[in-house]
Amino acid sequence: MTTYVFRRLLFLVVTLFLAMAVLFVLLRLLPGDPANALLSLGATPQQIAAAQARVGADQPVLVQFGTWIGQLVTLDFGTSYISDLPVGPEIASRLVVTVPLTLIAFVLAVVVAVPVGFVAAYRSRRWYGLALSALSQLGIAVPVFWIGVLLITAFALQLRVLPAGGFPRDDWADPLDALRSLLLPVITVAIVMSASITRYVRSAVLDVLGSDYLRTSRALGASFGSAMWHHGLRNASVPVISILGIELATTFLGAVVVENVFALPGLGSMLLKAIAQHDYPDIQGILFVSTFAVLVIGFLADLVQRLVDPRLRDSVSGNDAPKNAAPLSDGERAEQQGAT
Amino acid sequence: MKKAPLLIGIALTATLALAGCAAGGSSSATGKNATIEIGSVYEPQNLDNTAGGGQGVTEALSGNVYEGLFRLTDDGKVENLLAKDYSASADGLTYTFTLQKGVTFHSGAKLTSEDVKFSIEKVLSDKSQSARKSSLAPIASIATPDDSTVVITLKGRSISLPYNLSYVSIYNHAAKNFTTTEDGTGPYELDQWKRGSTLSLKRFDGYWGTRAKNAEVVFNYFSDATALNNALLTNAVDIVTSEQSPDALGQFTSNKDYTVTDGKSTTKLLLAFNDRVAPFNNVLVRKAVSSAIDNKKLLSSIWGKYGTVTGSMVPPTDPWYEDLTSVNPYDPALAKQELAQAGLSNGFSFTLDTPNYDPHPAAAEFIKSELAKVGITVTINTITADEWYSKVYKAHDFVATLQEHVNDRDIVFYANPDFYWGYDNPQVTQWIDEAEQATSTAEQTALLKKANEQIVADAASDWLYLYPQIVVASSKLSGYPVNGLNSQFYAYGIVKK
């Protein structure tokens, strides 16, 4: 297990480095000039030249890249081309909004989706099981900003119980105030996330419900609840954990639309603005943080899967047989290959 | 499964409890202890308008945190501010300014002529990205004979010098960081700037002039106009500096809790021809296109009853304004006639480079359908703001484009044959240069009127309409600027009942 963890961490660092290299080159290959965002309509040719110099196209790309990687090691993200402000503290202040939004929405989505998905699977032939399944389809189909706008109209504009947007000036100094500002955005994000998770939980549970081992366990005298708890849930959760990891990772930056609708000063809106202005240091800094977050989430999801499923524990890829196990029968071997 | 209803019940209770908690929202203090929450879409990029800070710096900081030698009032007049008095020599080449006494910066340092010299040189420096740099080009040297006197020597007469100086913020020459901190002389000092969210100013008690009428001003920034309007509707903000979305006005005009003011803006929407290339190097073709487009109809389809059609680059707040809408009137028959005279009776086609943000795409579609009626085919090429700067502004690689121009007194762009639209009329250039060297404002006005009339006669561009400047505020507020010339927004007179 420890070798596995170590190898995965090394893999993570290498992936991060490669991703940053690709990003760095891509940004400079794309059309568009960072200097333009500094100019006004009366700009003289001399001011245009000064803007170009300020965004520093004067050194060879490799040197620029080397300097940047060197700075990254000390977590110095440089300063923005446009605002001249250091990128690191700016990202930190945006994370204070985006991370709680993502995590709370994630927890809420899981708390809702797991029981709902279970019911939709277990009672898939009853009317309420079908209704829950249809509802989750709707949740995936409806655009997230539309849900946000509906919630604002209902709770902020009509009922006046929650703010229509924005985030308190002093961040989390008054936690209740901050949570009030995040409530509607969290619900908006959670609705869409839970719709997706519900689908996967439902299909994983359906799989388990039809499985041999569950039927065997029942036949040996266990109650349905006991059989599900001891055998069914662990098997159902392995694919669901991957999905949870993906959902969490995509929501981290994907919340940009929600941030716009609710006027939240989060990471997504900073990235959107940076892209429009070709502010390379900002873009690079944000994508470093988010790539790191995605890789870590993926790593954690993998780790949890291995903790849950002993068959995955002693191997890196999961395709090899566990070292100390007895030789597998044909049926067991087939089942193991199916599980990965 | 029995746990699910319980969990849902807990969640609902928690939600309602949170919702029921005492509101943040706008403070309940009124009068001189009030906090004014202002909503805007123009966040500054940084706090230094010589380093690309942008329109947002003027809105939030000019007049509030920083002051100039002169102040441009909301109705376009130039008043003495940090310059208690000034005089010009007979030949107009030497200006002597006497500074106000007893002015201190927010840090406590005293204002001296050294700071004025530093601030003007900051605008003129090689690294300066100030939009006003070219207008201060006539300055040859700045001398500071004593702490309260500044002497500016010019290379040539420049009657607009006091006006141009009203845009120069006076910085403390000893300050180190202009992009994230400030040290100005204004009635407010910077309290906190939370990027992407708010910029708050608090009243400076050591201010040399009349204290601000409110204790604190908070600019709340939005990237979405709907979110901004929602904030106003829920009283999260008290006033919107410039309403961008005509469709939203209906919610406020019929609501007695809000006051909608239609002021005079200086932002013009232009259909800019590239006067260097065919077919728009022919004045007849430009006139034809101008007469084929019904500007009034375009304006009313976007802004309803707001806004104005001026027929030229000059807005009503400029002293040399004249209504020139009759020179190239909307008349499709006339347009066809002029096209025939130009030898293009079968029409022609061209590409219109259109910025992708409002209102340009809508205007482009309208222009396309209007010009189709006289046999001209328009291909709309949608581009980003960034591409516009590279392709149209710098490379001049276009035939016609749409763009909004926000500055006042920008008729001077037509004196420069190298400006992106390439209008080159030596007589106009001469009149505009002479106007700047005039000895009296009456002379300046007369010359610029002549220049403007010629520019319109030449149909150098098609000035589609002048944006309205609409301020929507809670009815409890008074004393706010309604014209907001060049995006400035003086907050010190705002009173909250």
Model pLDDT, residue B223 = 85
Q: State the residue for tokens 């989505």.
A: A109
The answer to whether the CB of B428 falls within 8 A of the CB of B387 is no
Other CB atoms within a 10 A radius of the CB of residue A339 amount to 13
Number of Cβ pairs < 8 A linking chain A and chain B: 172
**Would you say residue B426 has pLDDT above 90?**
yes
pLDDT at B24: 42
Min distance A240 CA to chain B CA atoms (Å): 19
**Two tokens, residue B245:** 């979305």
Which is higher by pLDDT, A331 or B78? B78
User: Do A166 and B20 count as a contact with CB atoms less than 8 A apart?
Assistant: no
If one counts every other C-beta atom within 10 angstroms of the C-beta of residue B284, the result is 17
Q: If you count them, how many residues does chain B have? A: 497
Torsion angle, alpha carbons of A52, A54, A57, A63, to 10: 180
Each residue of B142-154: pLDDT tens digit?
Answer: 999 999 999 999 9
3-state class (DSSP) for residue B130:
coil
Q: What is the number of residues in chain A? A: 340
Here the tokens at position B212 are 């601000």
Instruction: Give the mean pLDDT of B40-58.
Output: 87
Q: Are B77 and B90 in contact (CB under 8 A)?
A: no
Q: What's the CA gap between B437 and B458, in Å, rounded? A: 24
| B46 and A CB contact within 8 Å | yes
A321 touches chain B (CB under 8 A): no
Task: Please report, for residues B118, B139, B156, B162, B411, the alpha-carbon distance to residue B123 in angstroms, rounded to integers and kept in the order given.
Answer: 9, 11, 19, 15, 21
Q: Which residue has the higher pLDDT, A70 or B61?
A: B61
The pLDDT value given to residue B15? 55
pLDDT of residue B26: 46
**pLDDT tops 90 at residue B432:** yes
Q: What is the rounded average pLDDT of the residues B419-428?
A: 95
- Asked if residue A1 has pLDDT above 90, the reply is no
Mind listing the pLDDT tens digit for each residue in B334-359? Answer: 999 999 999 998 989 999 999 998 88
Residues of B in contact with A36 (CB under 8 A): 385-386, 389-390
pLDDT at B453: 96
SS3 A2: helix
Average pLDDT over residues B53-79: 90
pLDDT classification of B411: cutoffs 50, 70, 90: very high
| Contact (Cβ atoms closer than 8 angstroms) between residue B52 and residue A89 | no
B-chain residues within 8 Å CB-CB of A279?
A: none
For the segment B398-417, the average pLDDT, to the nearest whole number, is 91
Predicted confidence (pLDDT) per residue in B276-316, tens digit? 998 999 999 999 999 999 999 999 998 888 899 999 999 98
Omega within 30 of 0 (cis) for the link into B279: yes
Using the structure block, give the residue that is written with the tokens 């309007």. Answer: B229
- Residue B376, φ and ψ in degrees, nearest 5: -105, 130
- For B161-222, list the strands marked E by DSSP: 188-194, 198-203, 216-221
Nearest residue in A to B178, CA atom = A84
Pick the more confident residue, B237 or A337.
B237
Structure tokens that stand for A176 in this block:
């209740």
Helix (H, G, I), strand (E, B) or coil at B185: coil
Closest CA to B248 of B372, B389, B350, B358: B358
pLDDT at B366 over 80: yes
What does the pLDDT look like over A14-72, one tens digit per residue? 998 899 889 888 888 887 777 777 777 777 778 877 777 777 655 677 777 888 888 87
Q: Residue A116: what are its φ and ψ, rounded to 5°?
A: -65, -45
pLDDT of residue A317: 53
CA distance B97 to B69: 9
Position A171 confidence tier, pLDDT thresholds 50, 70, 90: confident
Residue-wise pLDDT tens digits, B221-257: 988 888 899 999 999 999 999 888 888 888 898 899 9
Residue A111 has what DSSP assignment? H
Report the DSSP pairing between strands B461-474 and B258-273.
Answer: antiparallel
Residue A13 pLDDT greater than 80, yes or no: yes
- Of all residues in chain B, the percent with pLDDT exceeding 90 is 69
pLDDT band at residue B25 under the 50/70/90 scheme: very low
Please check whether residue B72 is in contact with residue B485, taking contact to mean a CB–CB distance below 8 angstroms. yes
CA angle (B141, B143, B146) in 5-degree steps: 170
User: Chain A: nearest CA to B1, how far in angstroms?
Assistant: 7
Distance, CA of A207 to CA of B363 (rounded, Å): 56
> Is residue A325 over pLDDT 60?
no
DSSP-derived secondary structure letter, B377: E
Whether the CB-CB separation of B418 and B277 falls below 8 Å is answered with: no
